[in-house]
Structure 1
């Protein structure tokens, strides 16, 4: 814990020195180009949009997204008097992280100018607007950043940030079943006396580990009065002992020996999950306490259902170190389908941002949200249907620290 606190202290100090911050605006660039000093909100117009002024001419820019994909709507005024949209030529360029430029043209509609392209998420870009009216050209530029932060390489290393490239992956669809570990019936031996007689001595107790050929007991035959040894036919553990000196052997089982290097995991599969489950399907098996995880394949499906309507699916397990014990409750993730998808990200990188599930893209030393449209998923991967370009480098480990830094700096969603 002390080491962790020291590490966090180092990170905090580094952040303070590098000034990790997100919600800032471009400073004023002089005549004809207007912004706001860092942390200062630009004035707003009557429609709730940003008010850009140049002399007596002004534009109000708003991102409208009620019932339509997000789009720019712009109102023009001169001396605070509305200007007919047909009299204004307007072009807006959005420069996104990584140098991607979105060029948006405008057409008049009712009392405003309507943008020709969707303003897709994240709404994080440098805005450059150029408007012409009455023979004059007006230009503005300002930063409209959200979900973005800058972190130097040393601080990122202190954070333990790891990244990967978004690209193809294989999504493995699974169903979860529960069951327990059972002895492998093919590796259990019930041992009886070859000839009826009297048990003279017993060499083992329940729980003893024996090798193949080890002496378990000595019996004196009733017919010949000769002595012979009962031995173990396999390596294993003595699980039953029903023999004691002085007893008649009879025909009963005297010992049982189990080789636990091979066990069965038997799962109860219910009718709703049966259609996708086949012999040979891969299964990831975990003890319910999470202490043991093994991988195997279904070797047997019962031909009939039990009283609870479940069908037994069996997996043969190699257990050379004895980490699994018969009787242990286990869960199994049974693979029922496999899908190759063109674009996926690791689930460890996912975070919540506003109403979206996001990852944080990295471009050099800057990090920014990417709002994702998600599809199928498994324990490791989630399919991306939209919101992320293939080849994007994104944070896979400790992405919550990026989220915390962005929230600290107060990045806003500006319309």
Structure 2
């Protein structure tokens, strides 16, 4: 059994174990069920001390999410201008949000947008008359805790969100072909009978190397057919004693002088320029070399594609002429202030997210995404530069959070 297969089995077992532990924790929680927080008439959380009460709700109908507060005493609504309220949101790894309130209609309105995730330690301070009140509660969502040794065993790895150079590549397909004058097929100058063959298939020859001896039908004298280029004997479809009969007797190819011909259709062709770099891949998608766009055909083939000629160091390709090649042509390169790896992305509710890591805790970060190129995706919002985030096996974090049933409490 290979090491990669063993590792996959270990990860699967650990994920199953983690899920089982989460299920067990939920079962225990079901036995000792937490009391659901009291909700007020505006579907906000009720906070009470004596006969004084505060309802704190996130309001997001027609406006970005914001906190609103309704105050009451003895069940009677209080004028909002008579109550002072402030709220502090303690966020995981991102500092605190300090929210102040001003009267509006029959409520107090917070002065800042409550950005996602709505996951924080809430501290509310209120003042009415000569009395001061304070409440504190957890409002966590999209968050879980996994010990570092367990995370390591599961193959969970992280990176740091920072600026990146994005390289856009255009995948094209074609073949490896012999360059101009790098392939020759030799015939007899005078037809006759092959008397001797001096080379063999695959043999390297120089220009002028004797290839075979032929007895002319007219003079009955022998002459020598010689190589006209240096290269490898690629075809030798004859035997001693056969008549030359005007056919090709030997083919020589200079494998160091091969090029890649890719096909580009009009929309792609317009994005390609001379000297664009090209990453070459074989039929199993392994990278086998680099090249540059050397020529763009001004003519279209019957299928409306244009030939794109890519110069390569063919001596390192170790592929025969005619091999299928994929060429990833670089068409743009630019730096973005912030990017994350594409494989780190997961879905959470209606958002695309990554999982930020703070200590042994992981929490969603809802992203606004921009351009994509290769393994990177530009981040326009939702993540602070320098944030440590999960790059590999982020699906494990997603599964654990979904299993725990993290809520979205408004």
CA distance in 2 between partners of 1:4 and 1:380 (Å): 22
Which of 185, 193, 198 aligns to 1:198? It is 193
Please name the residue that 2:234 is paired with: 238
Which of 80, 85, 90 aligns to 1:90? It is 85
Please name the residue that 2:371 is paired with: 376
Residues 153-195 of structure 1 deviation map (CA, whole Å, 9 limit, x = unaligned): 1011111111111111111123333333333344212223355
TM (normalized to structure 2)? 0.87
Deviates most, 258-267 or 138-147: 258-267
Please name the residue that 1:9 is paired with: 13
CA-CA distance at 1:248 after TM superposition: 3.9
Structure 1: stretches of 5+ with no match in the other structure? 26-36
Please name the residue that 2:350 is paired with: 355
CA distance in 2 between partners of 1:186 and 1:76 (Å): 89
1:66–1:239 distance in 2 versus 1, CA, 3 Å: farther
Please name the residue that 1:34 is paired with: none
Deviates most, 190-199 or 52-61: 190-199
CA distance in 2 between partners of 1:342 and 1:88 (Å): 43
CA-CA distance at 1:5 after TM superposition: 3.5
CA-CA distance at 1:372 after TM superposition: 1.0
Structure 2: stretches of 5+ with no match in the other structure? none
Which of 254, 262, 268 aligns to 1:273? It is 268
CA distance in 1 between partners of 2:18 and 2:269 (Å): 55
CA distance in 2 between partners of 1:237 and 1:75 (Å): 90
CA distance in 1 between partners of 2:54 and 2:19 (Å): 37
Please state if 1:296 is matched with 2:300: no
Please name the residue that 2:250 is paired with: 255
Which of 92, 115, 119 aligns to 2:114? It is 119
Please name the residue that 1:335 is paired with: 330
1:115–1:20 distance in 2 versus 1, CA, 3 Å: farther
CA-CA distance at 1:203 after TM superposition: 5.7
Whether the aligned pair in 2 keeps the contact of 1:11 and 1:155 (CA below 8 Å) is no
TM (normalized to structure 1)? 0.86
CA-CA distance at 1:308 after TM superposition: 2.8
Which of 224, 228, 243 aligns to 1:228? It is 224
CA-CA distance at 1:60 after TM superposition: 1.5
Q: Output aligned runs, 1:16-415, within 5 Å.
A: 39-98=34-93, 100-193=95-188, 196-202=191-197, 208-213=201-206, 216-221=211-216, 222-223=218-219, 225-231=221-227, 233-239=229-235, 241=237, 245-248=241-244, 250=246, 252-290=247-285, 293-320=288-315, 324-415=319-410
Q: How many residues align?
A: 399
1:8–1:322 distance in 2 versus 1, CA, 3 Å: same
1:328–1:80 distance in 2 versus 1, CA, 3 Å: farther
Residues 319-361 of structure 1 deviation map (CA, whole Å, 9 limit, x = unaligned): 4466544444443322111111111111121111111111111
CA distance in 1 between partners of 2:299 and 2:6 (Å): 58
Deviates most, 48-57 or 176-185: 176-185
1:358–1:239 distance in 2 versus 1, CA, 3 Å: farther
CA distance in 1 between partners of 2:313 and 2:298 (Å): 25
CA-CA distance at 1:363 after TM superposition: 1.3
CA distance in 1 between partners of 2:305 and 2:90 (Å): 58
Secondary structure in structure 1 of the residue aligned to 2:270: helix
Deviates most, 266-275 or 8-17: 8-17
CA distance in 2 between partners of 1:288 and 1:400 (Å): 30
Whether the aligned pair in 2 keeps the contact of 1:261 and 1:322 (CA below 8 Å) is no
Secondary structure in structure 2 of the residue aligned to 1:154: helix
Residues 279-322 of structure 1 deviation map (CA, whole Å, 9 limit, x = unaligned): 11122333454356543221111122223332211223344466
CA-CA distance at 1:218 after TM superposition: 2.0
CA-CA distance at 1:127 after TM superposition: 0.4
CA distance in 2 between partners of 1:299 and 1:293 (Å): 18
Secondary structure in structure 2 of the residue aligned to 1:254: strand
Whether the aligned pair in 1 keeps the contact of 2:166 and 2:335 (CA below 8 Å) is yes
CA-CA distance at 1:383 after TM superposition: 0.9
